[in-house]
Amino acid sequence: MPDRPVPLLLDTCAVIWVAEDQAISEAAGLALNEAHAADQFIYVSPITAWEIGLLVGRGRLTMIVKPQLWFERLLDVANMRLADMSPDLLISSSCLPGEPPRDPADRIIAATAREYGYTLITRDRVLLNYAEQGHIQALSC
């Protein structure tokens, strides 16, 4: 029986690029294709909904529909699932090892990747640096 790919977690920037059909790295595209082929879930953190709202509210992201509907439609895509965000996970995000990101949303995303063994797909240099420290698995998109 072939190995199943490691479950993926999309960072907010990756969610936006994937949803808007923007170019992503070959490695990230391959990982997403493998996940789809294996009928494996691809996860998005609930904190991404909050970040999307902030980006729209600050005028840094433009949408034709309300951010709530955009996020709802994202979760309707086949294999896309909302990652758990329990109180334990939130507490874990406050005491990550090494030199974790300072941004609370990035800390929650890093804690989610650590807790559930997800490979994070991101372009966020801070999260990629955290992966280089060996605390999470990440692919640059």
pTM recorded for the entire structure: 0.93
**84 in a domain, yes or no?**
yes
**122 in a domain, yes or no?**
yes
Which residue range forms the structural domain that includes residue 40?
8-140
How does DSSP assign 84-109, residue by residue?
P--HHHHHHHTT-SSS--SSHHHHHH
**79 in a domain, yes or no?**
yes
CATH number of 122's domain: 3.40.50.1010
pLDDT tens string 100-127: 999 999 999 999 999 999 999 999 999 9
User: How many domains, the chain?
Assistant: 1
**60 in a domain, yes or no?**
yes
pLDDT tens string 73-104: 999 988 999 999 999 999 999 999 999 999 99
**1 in a domain, yes or no?**
no
Q: Which residue has the tokens 């005028």?
A: 59
**3 in a domain, yes or no?**
no
| Cβ-Cβ contacts under 8 Å for 133 (sequence gap 6 or more) | 98, 99
CA 101 to chain centre: 15
**Residues 76, 19: Cα–Cα separation, whole Å:** 12
pLDDT at 22: 87
